[in-house]
A and B are shown apart, each in its own frame.
Chain A
Amino acid sequence: MTPTQPSKIVQVKHLKQYFNVGKPNEVKAVDDISFDIYAGETFGLVGESGSGKSTTGRSIIRLYNPTGGQILFQDQDISKIKSHGPEMLKFRRETQMIFQDPYASLDPRMKVKDIIAEGLDIHHLVNSAEQREQRVNDLLKEVGLNPDHATRYPHEFSGGQRQRIGIARALAVDPKFIIADEPISALDVSIQAQVVNLMKDIQRRKNLTYLFIAHDLSMVKYISDRIAVMHQGRLMEMGPADEVYNHPLHPYTKSLLSAVPMPDPELERKRQRLPYDASIENNHEHERQLHEITPGHFVFSTEAEVPQYQDAAEAQAIS
């Protein structure tokens, strides 16, 4: 590990998030996962629907109380924050969320300026009407919208523009950490690239940390520094984005990558899909957890499987 290691902004330790606890239909949406997010990075969380990736995001922003485990934000246990107090207000200001559906996540009866300034008002970040207007105009420019549009309503905007409004709203309170839950999956292809490029630019300018949750693996790879692959509430593999994509080790990651359609007819004709048999995970004879195979690259496996994965990683590194 490098000596100038950036600080951990979020630490998730053995997080468990169960629903309907104790009832016959108990769901283990998140089942004992641990990971850290470093300040300034983009951490990508990928998985299929039902894998628990959105639940993880919602737990981190404390929309749920965890069933087990701990979530530390800037070394503070977020479950210890009182629901209605100055600490919670501070936490809510430092963490923000960008939602999936730009149609459902903006109040249709509010003007754009009021949507963006709502956080400013709640946190008393502006002192006068002029200051408020100035701040809103700056934010609109920041996300590439025309300040003249501040008095319009959400329905007057296209999907991509609405997502820009959602981003401006998140940025209004100067957060440190933003959770983006499938921020582009509802957008058209040509617009997706615009929004992702915008998010990257803003991150560079403001030194933000992102948790980017998505099922579109190629887009996640493009934006993320590190990636964790989630399946049935557990992390299967975690590591630097290039490592996980170019040298996947866990069979689930391989299967998932083999299913991503490539915009290339020749590759598509040759593509072999790798099926994944989830039953190996449910074999409880040997305890499975994340093991570090190569520096920074973790795989969900038993103790005994580690040498096999290390051999595989070595073979891939050579080829």
Chain B
Amino acid sequence: MSQNILEVKNLKINFSTFAGTVQAIRNVSFDLRKGETLAIVGESGSGKSVTTRSIMGLLASNAQIKSGEIKFKGQDLLKESAKEMDHHRGNDISMIFQDPMTSLDPTMTIGKQVAEPLLIHGKISKENALKRAQEVLELVGIPNARARMKDYPHQFSGGQRQRIVIAIAIVNYPEILIADEPTTALDVTVQAQIIDLMRELQEKLETSIIFITHDLGVVAGIADRVAVMYAGKIVEYGTVDEIFYEPRHPYTWGLLSSMPTLDIGSHKLASIPGTPPDLLDPPQGDAFAARNPYAMNIDFQAQPPFFQVSETHYAATWLLHPDAPHVDPPAAIQRRFAEYQKLLQAGQVENPIEGSLNE
């Protein structure tokens, strides 16, 4: 049913810096299907933003794409000319940035800013562009949009500014919307509104969304599928239920158990010891091995391949190798399993393995 709109294959990106070559993306592959939301989760420096910037053709000048392809509807974006990329950007693929305070032009009215992508990409009169801009501003919930088109960014609150940034991103009805931590700078109440808005827009416009975040709470609410990134690699991917209820990679375990939930009481919060590895000189084995309490000898020697857990769920950890000893996930994760089993038995959820997201 669902077809892939974007396919990223074996992407490797290096940055040359004074200190040496940083291997920011180390062989990343994933696909994005029509109308779905894929969340990419990871810490700062894990490569999630670099991955999406490479899709947009917005990499810094010291970046070198060593290998790989990024196919948008079968066309390799990495082979496109700058002019062709200009055509895609803000038209087929657009982006919502993290900080609504700095991603708007302070000297331009918001009406003009929202109409700008239309004027650049479409053969549309200025008058019609402004009319469309008003419609889109209404769609994202700016009250009294007609009058407020003449206002400047500083006259809006943080949440409203993020709505305006979203309006700019969707004004050309893009097929792919990349949201790079779109709610990190916002309060929880505003964050909830923005997420509702994105969900609503997705239903109306059938946009595919790549949602980058480090907040697993947000992921649970918006994602269909989740890819967990660590040190420039995807370490686990699957449907949202699989990642939250049947995680297999120790890093995913660590991430999930270091999130306090409101019901957790005062157990000591699990934390992941140590810090991520230096990508100037990535370790020979599994990059997470040094922080992994379950690490085996092989973790320090060789990088694990992806092991299949289900048709939609893969994890790159040696723990899934048939010869590996059986390891019980940490207590916080087991509580999560137990909760989920209860829900399953109560018949409240479908089996996630048979969910709608099939290949």
Using a CB–CB cutoff of 8 Å, the interface residues on chain A facing chain B are: 48-49, 158-161, 188-194, 196-197, 215-219, 221-222, 245, 255-268, 271, 273, 276
Contact = CB atoms under 8 A, between A and B. Distances in A.
B261 A264 contact: yes
Contacts of B59: none
B192 interface: yes
Contact of B260 (A49, A194, A222): A222
A221 B259 CA distance: 12
B348 A266 contact: yes
B259 A263 contact: yes
B268 interface: yes
Nearest to B254: A190
Contact of A190 (B192, B196, B244, B272): B272
Given A190-B43, A215-B188, A265 B272 contact: no
A230 B244 CA distance: 32
Interface stretch (B106-114, B211-219, B299-307): B211-219
A224 to B, nearest CB: 10
Nearest to B216: A263
A255 B260 contact: no
Given A263-B244, A265-B244, A190 B217 contact: no
Interface residues of B, number: 47
B221 interface: yes
A259 B189 CA distance: 5
B189 A261 contact: no
B263 to A, nearest CB: 8
Given A265-B240, A268-B220, A193 B187 contact: no
Q: Counting chain B CB atoms within 10 Å of each CB, which of A196, A215, A266 scores highest?
A: A266
12 contacts: A48-B187, A48-B189, A49-B187, A215-B187, A221-B260, A256-B189, A263-B217, A265-B244, A266-B241, A266-B340, A266-B349, A268-B221
B44 interface: yes
Contacts of B245: 265
Nearest to B251: A190
Contacts of B271: 190-191, 193-194, 197
A261 B187 CA distance: 11
B196 to A, nearest CB: 8
Given A160-B275, A188-B43, A273 B269 contact: no
B258 interface: yes
Is chain A's binding surface mostly helix, strand, loop or mixed?
A: helix
Given A48-B188, A160-B275, A222-B264, A261 B269 contact: no
Nearest to A157: B275
Interface in B27-47: 43-44
A48 B157 CA distance: 13
Nearest to A49: B187
B275 A261 contact: no
B299 to A, nearest CB: 18
B258 A262 contact: no
B347 interface: no
Interface in B251-291: 254-256, 258-262, 264, 266, 268-273, 275
Top 3 nearest A-B pairs (CB, nearest first) are: A261-B217, A193-B271, A193-B258
Nearest to B269: A193
B195 to A, nearest CB: 8
A312 B120 CA distance: 57
Contact of B269 (A222, A255, A258, A271): A222
B262 A257 contact: yes
Q: Counting chain A CB atoms within 10 Å of each CB, which of B190, B214, B220, B240 scores highest?
A: B220
Q: Counting chain A CB atoms within 10 Å of each CB, which of B190, B217, B255, B348 scores highest?
A: B217
B244 A259 contact: no
Given A49-B187, A190-B43, A262-B220, 15 more contacts: A191-B271, A192-B258, A193-B260, A215-B187, A218-B260, A221-B262, A222-B269, A255-B189, A259-B188, A260-B188, A263-B259, A265-B220, A265-B223, A265-B240, A268-B221
